[in-house]
Homo-oligomer: A and B are copies of this chain.
Amino acid sequence: MLRLPHEPAVAIVGATGAVGREMLAILEERAFPLARLRLFASQRSAGTRIAFRGHDIACESLEDAARDGTLRGIDLALFSAGKSVSKEWAPRLRDAGALVVDNSSAFRADPACPLVVPEVNPEALAAVDLPAIIANPNCSTIIALVAATPLHRALRVVRMVAATYQAASGAGAAAMAELESQAHAFAQGAPFDTRIFGRQYLFNVFSHNSAVGDDGFNEEERKLLTETRRIWADDSVRVAATCVRVPTLRAHAEALFLEFGRATSEHEIRAILAEAEREGHGLRIVDDRAANRFPEPLDAAGKDDVLVGRIRMDPSVEDGRGAALFVCGDQIRKGAALNAIQIAERFLPRGASVDANPASRCG
C-alpha cells in the first residue's frame, strides 16, 4: 500500500457543512499531522473564514482553484459536499494526485473504489494504489456494522432486520437548525419553519426522506442492504430495513434483529461484543437492565464509539440462532467525519502518529 507523506496537504470539500466542520474538529482533536489545510465550499460560501489550530482559513471554491491551477499539491481530500459535487470533483482531485475519501454515495458501488469501515474491512484498503478514491459508507450502515460485524465474524449473520431512529443531522446542518427552530416556535406559539422536511418534525416521526423505489424501499434502506453486502463481501446476507427520521439532533439509533448461521447464547454474544470493545473495535457496551440504562442518542452524541445495548437472544428465531440489539452512534462523527478520517489515517506512514484517544473526549 502506498502511503501519504508524513505531513500531507489536506483539503476538506464541503467545509461549511455539519460533516465538514466535524472533520475540522476531529483533525484538531486527533492531532492529525498535516502540512497545510485548504477548505473548499460552494461559491456562495467562498471567503467564509473558519478557525483551525489558531488560524483563520478562508474557504475557496473548487471552480476558482481549478481555474487558478491550484488543485495540484493536495495529498488528501476529504469530501462531504453531496453526491453531485463528488461525482464531478473527486475524480479531478484524484487525477491531480490526491487520495480522496468521499462521504457521498457517488462511488460506493464503484468496484474501483473500496467501501470501508476501518474496524470492519480494513483489508479492502490493502490493494489501493494512490491516488485513489475511497468511499465512506452510509451513516446507518456504519453504525449497524460496527456492532454487528464481530457477531458476523463469529456466528455469520445470515439476515439482519433494522428499524432506524435517525437524527436530523443526516440531512445536514440546516435540518438540525430547523428542528431546533421548531422547539423555539412551539415555546413561542409561532408558526413552524418546515422548509427542509415540509412537515412538523418536532414531536413527530416520519419515513426517511429519500426516494422510494418500485419495491417500496427507500434509498436509505437500500444502502443498508447493498453496502452491508459489499463491506462484508457476502452477497448472501439478507437485510431488511425500515428507516425513520425521529426528532433527535445528531446521533442515530437502530433496533437490530440478527439471525445467525448457527446456534448461539446470550453468554457467547456478550463475550464476542466485550472482546470487540476491549480490542478497540469502535463499540462500547451500555446495558444495565436493573437501571434501565441502554444506548441513547444523547449519550452517543459527540462520542467516537457506537453504543451497543439491549443485548438479548431473540426467541422468535428458531434453534437459538437469533439475537436483538439496540445501537446508537453519532451520525456526524462515526457515521461520517470520523470514519473518513480513520480511513485516511490508515494511509499515514508508519512513523506518523495521531491521537486516537484524546483525553478531552473521555468521560
Interface residues, chain A, with chain B CB atoms under 8 Å away: 159-161, 163, 165, 179-180, 183-184, 186-188, 199-200, 202-207, 209, 211-212, 215-218, 238-240, 242, 244, 246-249, 253, 255, 257, 266, 289-290, 292, 294, 296-298, 309-317, 322, 324, 326
Which residue of chain B has the shortest Cβ distance to A253 in the bound complex?
B205
Residues of chain B within 8 A of A186, CB atoms compared? 180, 183-184, 187
Assess A246 versus B215: contact at CB under 8 Å? Given A183-B186, A187-B186: no
The 6 residue pairs across chains A and B that have the minimum distance between CB atoms: A216-B312, A163-B163, A187-B187, A238-B316, A242-B255, A163-B255
Measured in the bound complex, the distance between the Cα atoms of B188 and A203 in whole Å is 18
Give 28 CB contacts A-B under 8 Å.
A160-B316, A161-B161, A161-B257, A161-B316, A183-B183, A183-B202, A187-B187, A187-B188, A199-B298, A203-B297, A204-B296, A204-B297, A205-B246, A205-B248, A205-B253, A212-B289, A215-B313, A216-B313, A217-B312, A218-B292, A238-B316, A240-B322, A240-B324, A242-B255, A242-B257, A242-B310, A244-B253, A246-B247
A205 contacts B297, C-beta separation under 8 Å:
yes
- Decide if B244 touches A247 in the complex (CB within 8 Å): no
| Nearest CB of chain B from residue A125's CB, rounded to whole Å | 29
A165-B244 in contact (CB<8A): yes
The answer, among B215, B242, B310, B314, for a CB contact under 8 Å with A207, is B310
User: How close is A273's CB to chain B, nearest CB, in angstroms?
Assistant: 13
Point out the residues of chain B lying under 8 angstroms from A200, CB to CB: 298
Chain B residues with Cβ under 8 A from A211's Cβ?
292
Known: A184-B186, A200-B298. 10 other contacts (CB 8 A): A165-B244, A183-B186, A187-B187, A203-B298, A204-B298, A207-B326, A209-B292, A215-B313, A240-B315, A242-B326
Contact indicator A216/B326 (Cβ below 8 Å)? no
Provide the bound-state CA to CA distance between A161 and B186, in Å.
35
In the complex formed, the residue of B with least CB distance to A239 is B316
Q: Are B204 and A310 in contact (CB under 8 A)?
A: no
Q: Which residue in chain B gives the minimum CB-CB distance to A249?
A: B203
- Closest Cβ of chain B to A269, distance in Å, is 10
A9 to B289, CA, bound (A): 45
* Complex: A316 Cα to B259 Cα, angstroms: 11
CA distance A240 to B255 in the complex (A): 11
Q: Is the CB of A244 within 8 A of B315?
A: no
Residue in contact with A289 in the complex, picked from B199, B216, B248, B290, CB distance below 8 Å: B216
Minimal Cβ-Cβ distance residue in B for A257: B161
Interchain CA distance A326-B205 in the complex, whole Å: 11
Q: Smallest distance from the beta carbon of A292 to chain B beta carbons, Å? A: 6
B residues near A257, Cβ cutoff 8 Å: 161, 240, 242, 257
Check if B179 sits within 8 Å of A183, measured CB to CB: no
With A165-B246, A310-B242 in contact, is A296–B199 under 8 Å at CB?
yes
